[in-house]
Amino acid sequence: MNEAFVQLRCPACEKDWEAAPTDLPATDAAFSCPDCGDQRRTAEFMRTERDLEILEQFETA
Ligand SMILES: [Zn+2]
């Protein structure tokens, strides 16, 4: 799997965007919404379970 993108959604302001997993921190690391600055675990920004799985695969790779 290369050039995969994950879909993100901010739970606070509901901004939708996508990013390359390699540009995101680990699922348990702190991540800030680029729009509203709300800080949560990266996992909480994943829009679906599948997006979370993709990000986890990149962590263990
Ligand atoms: Zn936000």
Q: Over 80: is that where the pLDDT of 4 sits? A: yes
- Characterize the bridge pairing of strands 30-32 and 39-41: antiparallel
Collect residues with CB below 5 Å from ion ligand 1: 10, 12-13, 15, 33, 35-36, 38
**What pLDDT was estimated at residue 60?**
76
**What pLDDT was estimated at residue 2?**
54
**What pLDDT was estimated at residue 31?**
97
Cα(34) to ligand 1 centroid in Å equals: 7
pLDDT in tens, 13-61: 999 999 999 999 999 999 999 999 999 999 999 999 999 999 999 887 6
Say how far apart CA 21 and CA 59 lie, in whole Å: 9
Give the pTM.
Answer: 0.89
CA–CA distance from 34 to each of 1, 21, 40, 45, 57 (Å)? 26, 16, 12, 11, 24
